[in-house]
Amino acid sequence: MNPERFLDLALILKGGTSAPAYYRTAINRAYYAAFHVGVTALKSIGIRPNDGPGGHKSLMMCLGSCADSSLQDASDRLKILYGRRLRADYNLSDLIVETRGEADLAYLDSKEIITQINSLISKSSKGIAIDEIRQYARDILKLPVD
């Protein structure tokens, strides 16, 4: 499955029925679209990220480990989106995540993160960044690297 389809679903949910569950779920789907695109990108450069909860943090750390400013920005944005997703999924008293505005922000952040991550594997100029990420994943995070 193409993980970007989760972003399509987030767009539908945030633009449809004006209900808290739709906005919260749109935030969730927007986060997971970016997360799975990131995991796919890591796998494409030979990194096998952690399964389970540790995979979220290791993805963010890998993206932020290189000198490429767009990937560092993707890491920072992903951290913020992850926090928004946690609030939407687990803090039912947080009314902020029940708004169209928060769902819109999550959607737009996810879309930008995906663009930034996709540039990692589509541009030959990212060779240095790929080497830095692979070295960090192997030496610091102790992830398997092919």
Residue 98 DSSP code: G
Q: What pTM value is reported for the model? A: 0.93
Point out which residues pair with 47 in neighbouring strands: 145
String of DSSP letters for 24-51? HHHHHHHHHHHHHHHHHHHHHTTB-PPS
Answer yes or no: are the C-beta atoms of 105 and 77 closer than 8 Å. no
Distance of CA 144 to the CA centre of its chain: 20
Across the chain, what does the average pLDDT equal?
93
Domain boundaries, given as residue ranges, for the chain: 4-139
pLDDT tens digit sequence for 6-52:
989 999 999 878 899 999 999 999 999 999 999 999 999 999 998 88
Q: How many residues does the chain have?
A: 146
- Other CB atoms within a 10 A radius of the CB of residue 69 amount to 10
> Using CA atoms, how far apart are residues 74 and 65, in angstroms rounded to an integer?
11
pLDDT tens digit sequence for 70-107:
999 999 999 999 999 999 999 999 999 999 999 999 99
